[in-house]
Amino acid sequence: MHRLLAFLSAALTVSATFITNDTTGIPSSFEYIIIGGGTAGLAVANRLSVNHSVLVIERGTDQRDDENINNPLIATAGFPPNICHGLGSMPPQVGSNGTKLRVQPVQFGNCLGGGSSINAMQGSRPTLAGMNALEALGNPGWGWDDFLPYMQRSETFTPPNAQQIERGASFNASVHGFSGPVGVSFPDPFLVPQVHSAAKETAESVYGVTPTQDMGDGFSGGHVGSMYYHIHFNETLQTQRRSSSAWSFLYPESQQRSNLIVLTEHIVNTIMTTNASTDGNITATGVTLLPSAGGDMLTLSVTREVIVSAGSVFSPGVLQRSGIGNSSLLQSLGISPVLDLPGVGSNFQDQVLLVNVSFPVSDAFQSDPNVTVNAPTLGLITAHATANEAFGDQGTQMISSAVRNSTSAADQVIASGGIVNAQSMELQVNVIANAYEIDHPLMELLFTVGVTLRLWAQSALPLSRGSVYINTTDPFSFPVVDAQYLTIDSDIEIFTRAARRLGLAASTPPFSDLINSTASAALGLPAVNASDDAWRTWALDHYSPAVHFIGSNSMMPHEVGGVVSPELLVYGTTNIRVVDASIMPLGIFPHCTLGLYGVAEKAADMILQTASKADPISLPSP
C-alpha cells in the first residue's frame, strides 16, 4: 500500500515517464515487465506503454548527460572509456596455427540505451536475400516486404545537404521513414572529399561493384555507397548527437509515457513461472531482481508478458537461471529445470572483422591544405561484394558448394555447443548457400579516415557457431561467451579472400595514393600476389570480433534448436518473449542496430495484437 501511494503521488505530479533507481516508489505489479533497457528494450517499452503499464528493469545507470556517449565525434575517437562501456573476456579463439591463443574482448553496453549508447553508430540494413533467408529458415512473416515497413516506422531519415551530395551522398526516399523516433543521417562534416571519391573509385575497380543510390534499399548484389549513421542534428544544441535508443525512445519530450516506469541500477535474477496452464505451457508471473550494487532480492509481478531484452550475451543467462535451457547444464548448477530447451545459449555468433589495418597517410595527402587528418571524422564508404565479385566468375558456385560441404562439420559444432543437432546445420547451410546463390553479399569492406586511413573487411553470414552459458547461479557473474570464431572452413576461406581484397584495395590507386607507400609492408600485410596460405595465416592472426553478437536465443524451428517462435514467444511458454539481437539466427544484419529497431517495432505490434485478444492474467492472491 505504501508503495502504491508513493507511486500515485509521483504519477499525479508528473505525467512523464518515471525513471528511478529506487524501488520504494513503484507498484508491485505491471502488465509488462521488460528485462533490459537497451537498444530493443526501450523501443518496445515505448510502443507498449502508450496504453499499458510497463516496467523496464535496467542493470546499468542513466547516462543522459555523458558527452563521451552523446557527442558522436568524441564517441568515435577510439571509444573513450565510459561507465556504460562494459568489457568481458572470451576463452582463447583460434589462431593461424590452429591453437586457441587469440584472446578477444567481449564489449557490451551497460546503461540506458545498451549497445546503442556506446556503439560506432554505423547504420546499415539487411538485404532482401538476407531477410528472405530468415523467412526460409522457418519464420513466416519475416521476409523483406514484411520487414521493411517496421524499419521505416522507427526512423526519421534526414536527406543529405548540398555539401554532402556534392561529396557523394545520395538516398532513395521510398525505402526510408520520415516520422519515427530514431534519427538517421549522414555525418556533417562528411568524410573528406578526396577519401570519399578515392574509396568509391577503388572499390569499383577492385570488386567491379557499382555505386548505389542507397545502401539501405535491400539490394542483394555487390555495390558501393556512403554509409549513414544513427545520428541526428539537435536544433537546441546546434550540433550532432548520437541517436541512441534512450535518446530516441525514452528521453525526448514527445516520447513521455505516464504508463512507463524505468528502474535503473537493478539486475533481474530470474523470471518466476507457473505451469498452471491447461496446454502444458509455462506462464511467467513475475521476476526476481536485486540492486546492481548488491542488496536484498525483490519480486515484482506481471499480468501480461515478460519480455527478455538483455542482449545476446546476457539474455540466455536470464532464461537459464529461471530453469529454461539445457536441462543437463541447469542440473549441473543446481537449478531445477522448468523447461528443457537445449537451444538457449547455442547458435551464438559474430561477424569477423579486420579492424586493425590502419594505414599512415602519405605526405602529399597530409600536406594538402583541404584535408584535416588529425580531427576525428565520421563517414564511411561501404562496399558489398558478392561471391562472383570476390572470387571471380565461378565464385558463387565455389562458395555455395564450400558452404554446403560444411554439413560435414556438424559433429564438431555440436561438440562445441554451437548447434543442437545435425539437422540444424543442414537447414542453416541450405538457406545460407541459397542466399549466396541469389547474390547476398559475401563480404563488406569499409573505408574511413581519421589520423590514419583505415580499411575494414567484415565477413557476412558466418557459419561458425559458439555458445553462451552461465557457470554459476550468481546473476553478477559474467557468462562463458565463446564465439568459436573462424572454426568452419568456408568461413576461413571467405575471410581469407576478404583480407586479400583488403590488401588489393590498399595497393590500388587512387586509394593507395593517399597512404604511405611503405605502410602495407610495415603492417606485415602479405603481397597482393602472395599465396593463399600466406593470406590465411595473416587473416587468422589479425582478426577481431565485429561485436555484432547474435543468435543465442534463435528464432527458428524448435526441433533444430530454436528458442523463440516467429512471434518471438519462448517455446513452451504462454507469455515470455525475447526481443533483442539474440533472436537473430543468421548474420543478415551487417551492423545490427537499425535492423533491431525493426525487430522491436514488429515485436511490439505482435504483443499488442495478443493483448487485444486476451485479458490480463489473474494473479494468485499473495
Give bridge partners of residue 33 from the DSSP assignment: 55, 306
Q: Which of 250, 419, 483, 592 binds ligand FAD (CB under 6 A)?
A: 592
Q: Which of residues 58-97 bind ligand FAD (CB under 6 A)?
A: 58-60
Tell whether 338 is in a known binding site: no
Active site residue 591: yes
Gap between the terminal Cα atoms of the chain: 14
Q: Kindly tell me the burial class for residue 533, based on how many C-beta atoms sit within 10 Å of its own C-beta (0-12, 13-18, 19 or more).
A: exposed
Kindly state whether residue 587 participates in binding ligand FAD, applying the rule CB under 6 A: no
Distance CA 372, CA 168 (A): 19
Q: Which is nearer to ligand FAD, 243 or 312 (CB)?
A: 312
Site string for ligand FAD, 436-475 (x = CB under 6 A): ---------------------------------------x
Q: Write down the least CB distance from residue 600 to ligand FAD, Å.
A: 8
Distance CA 109, CA 112 (A): 8
Q: Which of 494, 593, 602, 617 binds ligand FAD (CB under 6 A)?
A: 593
Distance CA 568, CA 134 (A): 13
Distance CA 497, CA 263 (A): 47
Q: Write down the least CB distance from residue 514 to ligand FAD, Å.
A: 23
Distance CA 536, CA 585 (A): 27
Residues 413, 427: contact at Cβ < 8 Å?
A: no
134 sits in which H/E element:
helix 128-136
Residue 418, amino acid: G
Kindly state whether residue 37 participates in binding ligand FAD, applying the rule CB under 6 A: yes
Q: Kindly tell me the burial class for residue 370, based on how many C-beta atoms sit within 10 Å of its own C-beta (0-12, 13-18, 19 or more).
A: exposed
**Can you say how many angstroms the Cα of residue 530 is from the centroid of all Cα atoms in its chain?**
35
| C-alpha radius of gyration, the chain, whole number | 24
* Number of other residues whose CB lies within 10 A of the CB of residue 24: 9
C-alpha angle 339-343-348 in degrees, rounded to nearest 5:
140
Kindly state whether residue 46 participates in binding ligand FAD, applying the rule CB under 6 A: no
Q: Which is nearer to ligand FAD, 490 or 573 (CB)?
A: 573
Active site residue 548: yes
Which residue has cell 584535416? 372
Kindly state whether residue 580 participates in binding ligand FAD, applying the rule CB under 6 A: yes
Q: Write down the least CB distance from residue 87 to ligand FAD, Å.
A: 9
Q: Write down the least CB distance from residue 590 to ligand FAD, Å.
A: 8
Kindly state whether residue 40 participates in binding ligand FAD, applying the rule CB under 6 A: yes
Q: Which is nearer to ligand FAD, 34 or 429 (CB)?
A: 34
Q: Which of 318, 433, 449, 540 binds ligand FAD (CB under 6 A)?
A: 318
Kindly state whether residue 322 participates in binding ligand FAD, applying the rule CB under 6 A: no
Contacting range for ligand FAD; rule: CB under 6 A; set: 57-65, 203-211, 387-395, 410-418: 57-65
Instruction: Give the sign of the dihedral formed by CA 499, CA 505, CA 506, CA 507.
Output: positive
Count of residues touching ligand FAD (by CB under 6 A):
40
Give bridge partners of residue 223 from the DSSP assignment: 210, 384
Distance CA 37, CA 40 (A): 8
Q: Write down the least CB distance from residue 39 to ligand FAD, Å.
A: 3
Residue 117, amino acid: S
Site string for ligand FAD, 106-145 (x = CB under 6 A): -xxxx---xxx-xxxxx-----------------------
Q: Which of residues 503-542 bind ligand FAD (CB under 6 A)?
A: none
Q: Which of 268, 488, 498, 506 binds ligand FAD (CB under 6 A)?
A: 268
- 294: its cell numbers: 548488491
Q: Write down the least CB distance from residue 220 to ligand FAD, Å.
A: 19
Residues 587, 348: contact at Cβ < 8 Å?
A: no
Kindly state whether residue 257 participates in binding ligand FAD, applying the rule CB under 6 A: no
Site string for ligand FAD, 181-210 (x = CB under 6 A): ------------------------------
Q: What DSSP character marks residue 546?
A: -
Q: Which of 17, 23, 39, 240 binds ligand FAD (CB under 6 A)?
A: 39
**Can you say how many angstroms the Cα of residue 314 is from the centroid of all Cα atoms in its chain?**
13
Active-site residue list:
548, 591
Binding-site residues from annotation: 268
Annotated binding site for FAD: 268
Q: Which residues bind ligand FAD (CB under 6 A)?
A: 35-41, 57-60, 107-110, 114-116, 118-122, 267-268, 309-312, 314, 318, 475, 547-548, 580-581, 591-593, 596
